[in-house]
């Protein structure tokens, strides 16, 4: 029989003692690394001792309240549901169904203060080189700064550069949308194919899907990312090259997947037209920071849209990387999206920590990750247009905070980035929600819904939103054995039908999904990630794990040619797998 007490125990899963041991190590390392800390570009946070004390205070607090239930908390404070809400830039966050009380929030805010979050936010907005491992500024906030703002990197104001590119994008997008930009044979562009991967793909795809309602429907959009030839072949199947425009999106213009797809696109285009290389200029444009490689590929740099090394790939969807978005929705609506981003930037920079939505969400995720041993966070948008939002957030969160060393290079003393995942509702309810409701793991969830649908038919929207409210209620309050019995359930089935409850969730509600709202929503998560990274004292803006993959595959590609006899120097498993592939490839011709 599942009693309430037993059920809480099994999902609380506190790792307080392990955390305590790690914190001691971290504290000692922090003190000895004190001098090194001065060398970094981060603005000085609290001392190692203050940070240590803030973590320890939360640990003690967790020992006291970690088993308290949402049911009790709601019973104690009838106004909790209304009180624990926060509104910013058209988004309402209801955080009342989290396992926190006022003291928890105070201590979490104290943790952020001790970590120097306020100073770090200023350091980012001021263009300091807070991406210390790449010695780069982190200025996606400059991509949506109004024209009159001044943001300097090495003494140079980057805002005019941003607006120059935005203007160039707007002129180009307008020409493609109106049919003024024509292909080499004078035909109007009907399909735009974005070729990119990772940060040069996930943002554009997500934004295209999210804003489909606002797109020009006589233009089709295709996104090719995977080096698996199937992606390119299926993506271009049936396209007329005379009416197709390729956007080659790559910050470096050296990424193996993107360059392979770009070369295939070039061959496909020349093979299916009269093969005149001069036509390339009308059908290929580049989005990159690397003019040299763009020219080498054969794209006229006049048809190149630039950005800068201070824009990280996963933070680039509102830079020139968003050209496909701008062509789809038009420059005015793209501008509205940027305004939404900017509004949330201002909120993040100016709101007090306790009323700061990205900060609060970041701190709540730290509470579950580091004190409840929660390993994942589910992102559950109840809007079909946001179907790619969880995939987008996977990269934003996990590439940013999937780090095991501190800014000083020491092993972290706490757990860092949880796994983010999800699917749109209500589809997910018919598959993995079972585990969230009745499994043994604690999975904090973000539910995202809208008061108004863009497609009002019948009762669909009420049914959709009723599910949001029902799910968060069931997760928080569950169903006791007594309730199950009272329904006439046979005794042997009662345990199976008990819902422990006490499973936390955030609910995010907004009026309707507009370009502006999308911008604010993305910025909310960007800054939530920043908050987490600052508290964990890690570099959220490098991605050495991605870089490694880029190098390793390049080497092995050359070893797969069966006409050569490479001296394979990998481990015995990798050598064997490569040999098998070479033999099969030779046999298959």
Cα(558)–Cα(543) distance, integer angstroms: 25
User: Per-residue contact track with ligand G6Q, 417 to 456, x per CB under 6 A?
Assistant: ----------------------------------------
Closest residue to ligand G6Q, based on beta-carbon distance: 198
Q: Is 399 a catalytic residue?
A: yes
Tell which one of 46, 110, 313, 322 touches ligand G6Q (CB under 6 A): 313
- For ligand G6Q, which is the closer residue by CB, 250 or 453? 250
The least CB distance from residue 102 to ligand G6Q, in Å, is: 37
Query: Is 469:476 a contact under the CB 8 Å cutoff?
Result: no
Structure-token pair, residue 87: 């509104």
User: Per-residue contact track with ligand G6Q, 258 to 297, x per CB under 6 A?
Assistant: x---------------------------------------
- For ligand G6Q, which is the closer residue by CB, 120 or 250? 250
Alpha helices in 155-311 (DSSP H): 159-178, 202-210, 229-236, 256-271, 280-283, 291-297
Helix (H) or strand (E) holding 364: helix 357-371
Phi, psi dihedrals of residue 280, rounded to the nearest 5°: -50, -40
Q: Which stretch binds ligand G6Q (CB under 6 A): 252-260, 330-338, 380-388, 530-538?
A: 252-260
Query: Is 508:447 a contact under the CB 8 Å cutoff?
Result: yes
What Cα–Cα distance (Å) separates residue 39 from each residue in 136, 174, 408? Answer: 15, 47, 9
Q: Which stretch binds ligand G6Q (CB under 6 A): 39-47, 181-189, 309-317, 521-529?
A: 309-317
Cα(337)–Cα(470) distance, integer angstroms: 31
- For ligand G6Q, which is the closer residue by CB, 336 or 399? 399
Q: Is 212 a catalytic residue?
A: no
The least CB distance from residue 489 to ligand G6Q, in Å, is: 50
- For ligand G6Q, which is the closer residue by CB, 105 or 262? 262
- For ligand G6Q, which is the closer residue by CB, 287 or 524? 287
Report the DSSP pairing between strands 419-421 and 445-450: unpaired
Peptide bond into 426 cis (omega under 30): yes
The least CB distance from residue 547 to ligand G6Q, in Å, is: 8
Crossing angle of helices 202-210 and 389-401, in 10° steps, is 150
Q: By CB under 6 A, what part of segment 534-563 binds ligand G6Q?
A: 543, 546
198 binds ligand G6Q (CB under 6 A): yes
- For ligand G6Q, which is the closer residue by CB, 209 or 399? 399
Secondary structure percentages of the chain, helix, strand, coil, to 5: 55, 10, 35
The least CB distance from residue 54 to ligand G6Q, in Å, is: 30
- For ligand G6Q, which is the closer residue by CB, 255 or 531? 255
DSSP state, residue 569: -
The least CB distance from residue 531 to ligand G6Q, in Å, is: 18
Cα(496)–Cα(473) distance, integer angstroms: 19
Cα(38)–Cα(543) distance, integer angstroms: 23
Question: Out of 271, 278, 430, 569, which one is annotated catalytic?
Answer: 430
Give residues with Cβ within 8 angstroms of 436, minimum separation 6.
378, 443, 445, 475, 503
Question: Out of 257, 399, 423, 526, which one is annotated catalytic?
Answer: 399
Cα(98)–Cα(84) distance, integer angstroms: 9
322 binds ligand G6Q (CB under 6 A): no
- Burial letters 242-254, b for 16+ CB under 10 A, else e: bbbbbbbbbbebe
Tell which one of 22, 191, 244, 250 touches ligand G6Q (CB under 6 A): 250
Tell which one of 116, 127, 199, 204 touches ligand G6Q (CB under 6 A): 199
Residues with catalytic roles: 399, 430, 550
Q: Which residues bind ligand G6Q (CB under 6 A)?
A: 197-200, 250-252, 255, 258, 312-314, 399, 543, 546
């Amino acid at each position: 029989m599942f009693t309430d007490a037993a059920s809480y125990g099994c999902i609380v899963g506190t790792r307080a003692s392990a955390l305590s041991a790690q914190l001691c190590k971290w504290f000692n390392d922090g003190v000895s690394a004190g001098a090194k800390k001065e060398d970094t570009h981060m603005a000085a946070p609290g001392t190692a001792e203050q940070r240590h004390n803030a973590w320890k205070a939360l640990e003690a607090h967790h020992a006291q309240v970690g088993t308290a239930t949402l049911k009790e908390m709601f019973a104690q404070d009838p106004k909790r549901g209304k009180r624990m809400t926060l509104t910013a830039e058209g988004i309402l966050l209801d955080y009342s169904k989290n396992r926190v009380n006022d003291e928890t929030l105070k201590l979490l805010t104290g943790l952020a203060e001790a970590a120097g979050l306020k100073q770090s936010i200023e350091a980012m907005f001021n263009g300091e080189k807070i991406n210390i491992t790449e010695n780069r500024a982190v200025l996606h906030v400059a991509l949506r700064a109004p024209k009159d703002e001044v943001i300097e990197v090495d003494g140079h104001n980057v805002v005019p550069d941003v607006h120059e590119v935005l203007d160039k994008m707007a002129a180009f997008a307008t020409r493609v949308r109106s049919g003024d930009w024509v292909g080499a044979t004078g035909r109007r562009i009907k399909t735009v194919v974005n070729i990119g991967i990772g940060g040069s793909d996930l943002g554009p795809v997500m934004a295209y899907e999210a804003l489909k309602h606002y797109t020009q429907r006589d233009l089709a959009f295709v996104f090719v990312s995977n080096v698996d030839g199937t992606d390119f072949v299926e993506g271009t199947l049936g396209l007329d090259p005379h009416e197709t425009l390729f956007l080659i999106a790559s910050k470096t213009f050296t990424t193996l997947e993107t360059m392979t797809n770009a070369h295939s696109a070039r061959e496909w285009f020349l093979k299916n037209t009269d093969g005149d290389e001069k036509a390339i200029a009308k059908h290929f444009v580049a989005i990159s920071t690397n003019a040299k490689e763009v020219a080498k590929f054969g794209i006229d740099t006049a048809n190149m849209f630039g950005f800068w090394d201070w824009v990280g790939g996963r933070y680039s969807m509102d830079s020139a990387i968003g050209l496909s978005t701008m062509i789809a929705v038009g420059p005015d609506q793209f501008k509205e999206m940027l305004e939404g981003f900017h509004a949330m930037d201002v909120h993040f920079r100016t709101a007090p920590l306790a009323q700061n939505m990205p900060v609060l969400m970041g701190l709540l995720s730290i509470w579950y990750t580091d004190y409840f041993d929660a390993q994942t966070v589910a992102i559950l948008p109840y809007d079909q247009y946001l179907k790619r939002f969880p995939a987008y957030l996977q990269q934003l969160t996990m590439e940013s905070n999937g780090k095991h060393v501190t800014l000083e290079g020491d092993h972290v003393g706490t757990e860092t980035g949880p796994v983010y995942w999800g699917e749109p509702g209500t589809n997910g309810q018919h598959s993995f929600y079972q585990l969230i409701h009745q499994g043994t793991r604690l999975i904090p969830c973000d539910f995202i819904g809208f008061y108004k649908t863009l497609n009002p038919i019948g009762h669909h929207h009420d049914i959709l939103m009723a599910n949001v409210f029902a799910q968060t209620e069931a997760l928080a309050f569950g169903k006791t054995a007594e309730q199950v019995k009272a329904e006439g359930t046979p005794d042997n089935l009662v345990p199976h039908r008990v819902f422990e409850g006490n499973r936390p969730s955030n609910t995010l509600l907004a009026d309707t999904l507009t370009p502006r709202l999308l911008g604010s929503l993305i910025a909310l998560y960007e800054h939530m990630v920043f908050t987490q990274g600052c508290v964990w004292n890690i570099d959220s803006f490098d991605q050495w794990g991605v870089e490694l993959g880029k190098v390793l595959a390049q080497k092995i590609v050359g070893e797969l040619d069966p006409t050569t006899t490479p001296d394979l120097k990998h481990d015995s498993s990798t050598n064997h797998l490569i040999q098998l592939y070479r033999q099969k490839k030779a046999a298959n011709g």
